[in-house]
Amino acid sequence: MFGYIECNRSKLSKEELERYQSVYCGLCRNLKERYGGMERLSLSYDMTFAVLFLSSLYEPEEKVEKFRCSIHPLKTRTSVENKFTEYAADMTVVLAYFKALDDWKDEKKPGKRWYAGILSKAYQEVEKAYPRQCQAVSSSIRELELIEKDRDSNPDQAINCSGRMLSELFVWKEDFWSNSLRTFGYELGRFIYLMDATLDYKKDFRKRNYNPLFKMGKQPEEMEASLSLPLGNAMEVFERLPLVQDAHLLRNILYGGVWQQYYAKLRGKETDHD
């Protein structure tokens, strides 16, 4: 997805780390089995969070398997899969497809166009199953492109556009939980867009790319309060949901893990975020 929604491993128990890794492995295996090896290049811990979050809310049956990983063959691993593993794999394909197209437009690198072509068949399959989500991503990316070309646009336009895109991805289906999930995804999407802009500040300034912080008149080290606002809104929704399974692990991600790259950047432990 975006690379920020990950756990703080140092604050998790051994059992929680194993659970986290097994859900990640389940997502990886699902992508490979249903779409082939290339789609696994877009695998991320962001979508692992989505699986954990939706599974905690809906509590589906899970399939647990021991397996040998071709990338890490020396140790037997555990994978956990359920219907939200499949959903997260599908949304991974959607986001990867549009990111490849966007990168091709920006960078004109043949590899990006080739990767988009590889993903196109898988994307068409997902679009048939989840037209609402695909339309949300497609329209949001087009809107963002127009906003970012207009250097006089209000920063909130881009921030809110990103929120609307992610809001639809967290709504697996329209039901009793839809409004809460939509609000959660919207606020988390706004946080992610701001975090990405914050970490890309120096690179965007150097390359003269669009960045909402320029219009906001803020430096990265001044962004903690602005980042805390949408994240706090998302966590308010989170705390009202009846989540029991993996609740501590999910809180570890939302209350701590999402800040790791920001604080590492401030301490000078990272180079520019690409």
pLDDT one-digit tens code per residue, 138-191: 999 999 999 999 978 999 999 999 999 999 999 999 999 999 999 999 999 999
84 belongs to a structural domain = no
Q: Determine if the pTM surpasses 0.85.
A: yes
Identify the pLDDT of residue 56: 99
Task: Look at residue 273 in the predicted model and tell me its pLDDT.
Answer: 41
Q: How far apart are CA 212 and CA 193, in angstroms?
A: 9
Q: Is the pLDDT of residue 39 over 70?
A: no
pLDDT tens sequence across 81-138: 999 999 999 999 999 899 888 777 766 677 777 788 888 999 999 999 999 999 999 9
Model confidence pLDDT, tens digit, residues 242-271: 999 999 999 999 999 999 999 998 888 554
98, part of any domain: no
Query: Is residue 72 in a domain?
Result: no
CA distance 108 to 105: 6
Q: Binning pLDDT at 50, 70 and 90, where does residue 40 land? A: low
Task: Label residue 274 by pLDDT band (50, 70, 90).
Answer: very low
Torsion of Cα atoms, 194 then 197 then 202 then 203, to 10°? 170
115-118 contact pairs (CB < 8 A, 24+):
115/38, 115/41, 118/38
- Whether residue 157 lies inside any domain: the answer is yes
Q: Report if residue 211 sits inside a domain.
A: yes
Domain holding 230, by residue range, is 130-242
Amino acid occupying residue 21: Q
In a domain, residue 150? The reply is yes
Q: What is the pLDDT of residues 52-76, one digit of tens each?
A: 999 999 999 999 999 998 877 888 9
Residue 29 lies in a domain: no
pLDDT of residue 249: 98
CB–CB of 126/154 below 8 Å? Answer: no
Read off the pLDDT of each residue in 220-225 and give the average, rounded to a whole number: 96
The β-bridge partners of 64 are: 80
Query: Read out DSSP for 32-75?
Result: HHHH-GGGGGG--HHHHHHHHHHHHHH----EEEEEE-SSSTTS
- When divided into structural domains, the chain yields a total of 1
Name the more confident of 107 and 3: 3
In a domain, 173, yes or no: yes
